Homo-oligomer: A and B are copies of this chain.
Amino acid sequence: MNNTRISTQPYKGSRDFYPEDLRLRDYIFGIWREVCKSYGYEEYDGPFLESFELYAAKSGEELVNEQLYSFTDRGERKIAIRPEMTPTLARMVAAKYKALNFPIRWFSIPNLWRYEKPQRGRLREFFQLNVDVMGIDEISADFEVMCLAIDIMKRAGAKEGMFELRINNRKLMDEFYNFLGLTIEQKIEFSKVLDKKAKISPEDFNKILEEKVLLSENQIKDVNNLLSQPNTLLEQMLSQKSNGAKEVKELLKKVKDANLENFIKFDPTIVRGLAYYTGIVFEQFDLNPQNTRAMFGGGRYNDLVKIFADASVPATGFGMGDVTFMDFLTAWKLLPQNQDELDYMITRWPETNPEKATIYENLASEIAIKLRAKGKKVLVWLDNFSKLDKQLKFAERKNASMAVIFGENEIKDKTVIIKNLRTSTQEILLLEDFLKN
């Protein structure tokens, strides 16, 4: 081909949304919005570019050093493309926290960018539903966002056994590390290996516990026992008056009362990568045996607003990405066959005589205006030379319900032919009567 031509491929890790793709995206966004609004959450949005320092503070090393798209603008400001929404949310809340009516329940569907190696479930550009409650330090708020997440899954057709939420608590883990007598350095290494646990072998896990966390053989045995028996760990930590354990227990009580025990489970191996979590954390897992993995997660982050303002704003929430969600729906065959519907296509009688052609054209647009005023979706054929057959085939491909046809005779009789493209039947109606309905 011609080498001077520009590539038609989208930038690596990003997607083109053709109309058929956008309809699916819309379907997902529609479910997200509907469920959030049913819980009384209000939508917000922030800018696509933010100052670099917004992420440098709290987003965690991997995100900032390896994944962030950052650059210097023409005015020498260091800026970044948003890789997550929570820092923007915290900034916006800090800017107006005196005027806001807490608690606030907000959601957003930003597009985010991370410089990653594109792979299944992971692209450079993705959309992410962000759901947050700010101003409530009660476990009931953490529980509410989890219920909302489960309702989204159910609204999309997911059933028990297809997914589950696994919860843990950052405080509990810190208290557990203290109970084990770990130093700060050991805690950091322990958290890192825990975050990787699902992806590595038990042998490798133990090896890292020994060599990096510097645990003794007995400690490693104890740790493995407790991690595999979450309830024993919980009881043990409750006997140590652990605050984190108390919160987990309170949450599990709510889960039981709401009959959600098959959807929400305690799992002490859940830690979450982001640096700003302070309490309950959770991850949602796809239970498809071919595809067991974390789909999305969230948790409590009570100290984030403080980096912007002298205000204590307890907060909890989660982020749900469109790519993993779409993969989940595809794998479980839950995606709808949704084609865009078109109510009418108005054909144009082929006519080369300009004056006659104008008569057809004007009538077509007159009919279209009237149908659109009734809220119908109406497409008008725009040239005066295509055969009727070609026009009707096009209407079928565009999934139109009806075609409106008229030629010289129909104009004379003040009628139109209405062809039902689903049944291939047609009827002749007085134009006036047709437009009345």
Instruction: Give A contacts to B, CB under 8 Å.
Output: 1-2, 5-12, 14-19, 21-23, 25-26, 37-40, 42-51, 53-54, 57, 69, 71, 73-75, 77, 79, 81, 91-92, 94-96, 101, 103, 105-106, 111, 113, 115, 125, 133, 136, 138, 140-141, 144, 147, 151, 253-254, 257-258, 307-310, 340, 342, 345, 358, 361-362, 365, 372, 375-380, 382-384, 394, 397-398
Contacts and interface: CB of A to CB of B under 8 A. Distances in A.
A331 B271 CA distance: 52
A70 to B, nearest CB: 9
Given A39-B379, A53-B6, A95-B16, A45 B69 contact: no
A8 B308 contact: yes
Given A5-B309, A43-B19, A310-B1, A48 B14 contact: yes
Nearest to A25: B45
Interface of A is mostly: mixed
B6 A39 contact: no
Nearest to A310: B2
26 contacts: A2-B310, A5-B307, A5-B308, A8-B91, A11-B49, A11-B79, A12-B75, A16-B44, A17-B46, A18-B96, A21-B44, A22-B44, A39-B372, A39-B377, A39-B379, A40-B398, A48-B81, A73-B115, A81-B81, A105-B379, A133-B382, A136-B383, A141-B382, A144-B382, A254-B361, A257-B362
Contacts of A310: 1-2
A18 B253 CA distance: 35
A4 to B, nearest CB: 9
A136 B1 contact: no
A95 to B, nearest CB: 4
Given A12-B77, A48-B111, A81-B81, 12 more contacts: A6-B57, A6-B307, A7-B51, A10-B46, A12-B75, A16-B47, A22-B44, A38-B378, A48-B48, A71-B71, A144-B380, A253-B358
